[in-house]
Amino acid sequence: MTMPLIHLIDGLRLGGMARIMQSLAILADRDRFLPILAGIEADSSFVCHLREQGLVAGAIGVELAGLGEFVKPGSSFIVVIHRSGESEPLWDRVVPLLIEKGAALVVNQNAFSHVDSGPTADLVDMCMFYSRDAMRQHWKRAGRPAVESYLKKHRVLHCAVTKEPALEDVAEARREMRHRLGIPQDAFVIGDTCRPDARKLDPIALLALPRIIHEIPNCWFIARRYPSLAESLVRGKARKRVINLPVSQDDGDMFRTYAAMDVFVHGSTMGESFGMSIAEAMRCGLPVVANETPKNNCDNAQGELVLHGETGYLVNDSLSLLQALQSLAASPALARRMGIAARCRFNDAPYSPSSIISQFEAELESCARDKGIALGEGSQVLERDPSDAVMGRFLLEHKRTYSVPRPDAPWPVRPWVEYVQGGRLAWRGLRKIVEGQGRVYRRLQGLRRQFPSH
């Protein structure tokens, strides 16, 4: 009998954690587990996207009122909570309810290296990190005494990129996407993709972009990310070589975007606990140039994924970024060799999808044995069509995105931080435009004084 395996997140919407949940659900052994993608709240359009892929997905609410839509009352199940890792009132409230409802195992899949000092930390049976760097950062933050008490709970589980595109498909998608965007087939194209998060904007790449576009011959830049300031930073005729595409949740769109590139440039002020976009780019055969973020206790897993000089380059400032791109533009053979090495890196353990899902399910079974639980016994799964009317009715009751908090939300809502940061960034961009117009005005005034009209 299959055991319900619930992947739970605070807000089920487009993002890195949701893509990881989606990959684990697609790769799951359906003879042993029934994967369910659930959010305390959910973006209805993203849930529909998941259901179109044949996945069971929906919202369950803070009080877990929707849990009965997926698992029969009294049945046991496994829940994997995808979270930032720090203590949050939301999870302090939800975890005891999950155990009360029949959660046989509670697993934390930590997106970052934060330390959970809340009252429910001891209720978690296992804690998984996306990278060794994230786990080491967690140990550093927690301190040795705290780590020794629950060291046995910690595991490293890399993120799985489910699709490995064929080289012929990449070549065809490259020609198609470049033709659609008006990019010459022989152009040197760099690009970046990112989820909608203002903290993912990297000043190193943005400040270097004007110089990159002007100094590297026939260089184009593709961005598929949160409001990009790239177009406002590049002036003159070169601006047409900067293309900003909307963020997409369609795997086909993302694949074609990667295929159109020669080099993937990754930047983040907050670092990466894994780097899903880096993994997707490398699996498409792209060399990666990424900035390191070892300072300020930031996660730095991009330095674990990208092997400097083999699958790409790790940079620390705008000048080194420019030099890395110049070397790749000047030597297509070097770029191809690094791209092949990057693709091979994600075909082998520990990054291949088969090794990741095998490890994940083996860790669940091992943890269950330690608790004296036989997976699959006493579990009852609701036989249902994922798109049936009952689930759809419940989803409509919770039809709100996580970025629009409920007025009675009993926990601090973090998206307001994103709004503030995004607003600050937008204000800086607006100020640059105003200052630029002011300089133009003062220049015109100077010219008028120099050449007065009669």
CATH number of the domain encompassing residue 211 = 3.40.50.2000
For the domain that residue 94 is a member of, what is the CATH number? 3.40.50
* pLDDT over 50 at 394, yes or no: no
- Residue 201 tokens, joined: 């904007």
- Residue 429 tokens, joined: 């961009």
The answer on 341 and 355 residing in a single domain is no
The answer on 97 and 188 residing in a single domain is no
Instruction: Give the whole-number percent of the chain exceeding pLDDT 90.
Output: 27
251 or 217: which leads in pLDDT? 217
Instruction: For residue 144, tell me if it sits in a domain.
Output: yes
Separation between Cα atoms, residue 43 and residue 68, nearest integer Å: 20
Separation between Cα atoms, residue 81 and residue 124, nearest integer Å: 10
Instruction: For residue 411, tell me if it sits in a domain.
Output: no
Tell me the pLDDT band of 385, cut-offs 50, 70 and 90: very low
* pLDDT over 60 at 264, yes or no: yes
pLDDT at residue 416 in the model: 38
pLDDT at residue 184 in the model: 94
The answer on 118 and 76 residing in a single domain is yes
pLDDT at residue 144 in the model: 61
Pick the most confident of 91-100, 102-111, 212-221: 91-100
The answer on 324 and 228 residing in a single domain is yes
pLDDT at residue 204 in the model: 64
Closest alpha carbon to 55 in 38, 72, 37, 67: 37
Q: What is the mean pLDDT of residues 188-208?
A: 71
The answer on 207 and 149 residing in a single domain is no
The domain containing residue 426 runs over which residues?
419-454
Contacts of 433 (CB under 8 A, 6+ apart): 232
397 class by beta-carbon count within 10 Å (0-12 exposed, 13-18 middle, 19+ buried): exposed
* pLDDT over 70 at 408, yes or no: no
Tell me the pLDDT band of 438, cut-offs 50, 70 and 90: low
Closest alpha carbon to 217 in 108, 332, 133: 332
94 or 248: which leads in pLDDT? 94
pLDDT tens sequence across 350-383:
888 888 999 999 999 888 888 887 765 444 433 3
- Residue 399 tokens, joined: 């039809």
The answer on 179 and 311 residing in a single domain is yes
- Residue 150 tokens, joined: 């629950």
pLDDT at residue 15 in the model: 77
pLDDT at residue 107 in the model: 92
Strand partners, 222: 191, 243
Pick the most confident of 86-90, 206-210, 229-233, 346-350: 86-90
* pLDDT over 80 at 250, yes or no: no
State the chain's mean pLDDT as an integer.
Answer: 77
Instruction: For residue 410, tell me if it sits in a domain.
Output: no
Least confident of 181-185, 243-247, 327-331, 430-434: 430-434
Separation between Cα atoms, residue 327 and residue 329, nearest integer Å: 6
Instruction: Give the whole-number percent of the chain exceeding pLDDT 70.
Output: 73
The answer on 176 and 126 residing in a single domain is no
The answer on 306 and 264 residing in a single domain is yes
Domain end position, chosen among 279, 313, 345: 345
Beta strands in 126-184 (DSSP E): 126-129, 154-156
pTM above the 0.95 mark? no
Q: What is the mean pLDDT of residues 92-106?
A: 92
pLDDT at residue 406 in the model: 31
Instruction: For residue 434, tell me if it sits in a domain.
Output: yes
The answer on 297 and 179 residing in a single domain is yes
Contacts of 239 (CB under 8 A, 6+ apart): 231
The answer on 137 and 48 residing in a single domain is yes
The number of distinct structural domains making up the chain is 3
How many C-beta atoms lie closer than 10 Å to residue 298's C-beta? Answer: 17
Instruction: For residue 408, tell me if it sits in a domain.
Output: no
pLDDT tens sequence across 129-178:
888 888 888 887 777 666 665 667 888 888 877 666 777 788 899 999 99
Separation between Cα atoms, residue 283 and residue 384, nearest integer Å: 35
Least confident of 237-241, 254-258, 272-276, 449-453: 449-453
197 or 47: which leads in pLDDT? 47
Residues 72, 75, 77, 83, CA torsion sign? positive
Instruction: For residue 295, tell me if it sits in a domain.
Output: yes
- Residue 242 tokens, joined: 């900067």
The answer on 187 and 92 residing in a single domain is no
The answer on 339 and 388 residing in a single domain is no
pLDDT at residue 215 in the model: 87
- What angle separates helix 203-215 from helix 318-330, to the nearest 10 degrees? 40
